[in-house]
Structure 1
Amino acid sequence: MTIHPETRVGHVHLKVADLDRAIAFYSGILGFEVTQRYGAQAAFLSAGGYHHHLGLNTWESRGSTPPPAGHTGLYHTAFLFPDRKALGQVLKRLADAGWPLDGAADHGVSEAVYLTDPDGNGVELYRDRAEADWPRAPDGTLAMTNSRLDVAAIIAEAD
């Protein structure tokens, strides 16, 4: 049995220690729009007017520390951008804010950068290549890569 192929991940909820700090990152730097806020307890953010793609809350985590390394939990949340220019725009905002990147890779099927949010949650920002451009082995199977990504070249396409 398999899941229906049109199934999509609708939204992600993150426990955060400081709601204003999390909003400053996800809205102020990444550019998500705050669609609703419940005082100092929760906020919902979206891209393009959807009710929410991202929920942030302090219900069980206000003032908490991130989980220690080596424990189970969310590895990262991945945000898909529609094209290289849109990815470059958010990378420029991160650079302007002095926000460090943890890594960057050209996977053949996509270009991705990795960073950590203020609460220690992993974040992937990426754009997919057209499926016709995906690398394939001689037998036609997908042959993803993990090559160096030129982040500066993507930022240059932001304008």
Structure 2
Amino acid sequence: MENNYNIPVQAQIGHVHLKVSDLARALEFYRDLLGFELTTMYGKNAAFLSAGGYHHHIGLNTWHSKGGPSAPRNGAGLYHTAILYPTRKDLAEILQRLIDKGYPIDGASDHGVSEAIYLTDPDGNGVELYRDRPRDEWEYAEDGSVKMITQPLDVHGLLKELE
């Protein structure tokens, strides 16, 4: 199929809306642990959360999933939601918060263009917390594509941002 359309450069992914099995438990994760603010409850079965007062970056609902099983690890579906932090220090602060609260971390990677921490929400949805390196630090292949890697994240170096 020929592609003769390109999405506008200014287009962005505006929000993610997740089916969850227990709304209170999901709010404990996204609001109380990660720090998103609750902007509105939509009845008793949905909540909308934001960073910085936007109407919502994350929607949570139990409309079709209340009491249901976790997201299947080996099936089609969302791999992870990625939350972009503005600075390396901000990423270090959320990492320290996860450590302090004893929340399990699934992994941490340096991708060359970004540094990322991976975890799973209470419903089995993957969550990536990351910060981008400045674009002038990115490496490019001869064909112009971005060179991305997966190396262990220097967690100790990241946490030194808090000193």
In the superposition, the TM-score normalised over structure 1's length comes to: 0.93
Distance 1:140 1:73, change over 3 A: closer
Q: Mark the runs of 5 or more structure 1 residues left unpaired by the alignment.
A: none
- Per the alignment, residue 101 of structure 1 pairs with 105
1:86–1:158: 8 Å Cα contact kept in structure 2?
A: no
Distance 1:92 1:39, change over 3 A: farther
1:33–1:46: 8 Å Cα contact kept in structure 2?
A: yes
Distance 1:68 1:20, change over 3 A: same
2:72–2:124: 8 Å Cα contact kept in structure 1?
A: no
- Per the alignment, residue 24 of structure 2 pairs with 20
C-alpha RMSD of matched pairs (Å) = 1.5
Between the aligned partners of 2:111 and 2:161, the Cα distance in structure 1 is 19
The share of aligned pairs that are identical, in percent, is 58
Counterpart check, 1:113 vs 2:117: yes
Between the aligned partners of 1:68 and 1:107, the Cα distance in structure 2 is 26
Count residues in correspondence.
159
Between the aligned partners of 2:99 and 2:135, the Cα distance in structure 1 is 29
Residue 139 (structure 1) shift = 6.2
Residue 69 (structure 1) shift = 2.6
Instruction: Give the 5 Å matches for 1:123-142.
Output: 123-137=127-141, 141-142=145-146
Counterpart check, 1:59 vs 2:72: no
Secondary structure of the 2:27 match is: helix
Instruction: Encode CA deviations 1:58-115: one digit per residue, 9 max, x unaligned.
Output: 1111111113332111000000000101111111111111111111111110001111
In the superposition, the TM-score normalised over structure 2's length comes to: 0.91
2:71–2:125: 8 Å Cα contact kept in structure 1?
A: no
Would you identify which runs of 4 or more consecutive aligned residues in structure 1 move more than 3 Å?
137-141
2:73–2:124: 8 Å Cα contact kept in structure 1?
A: no
Secondary structure of the 1:66 match is: coil
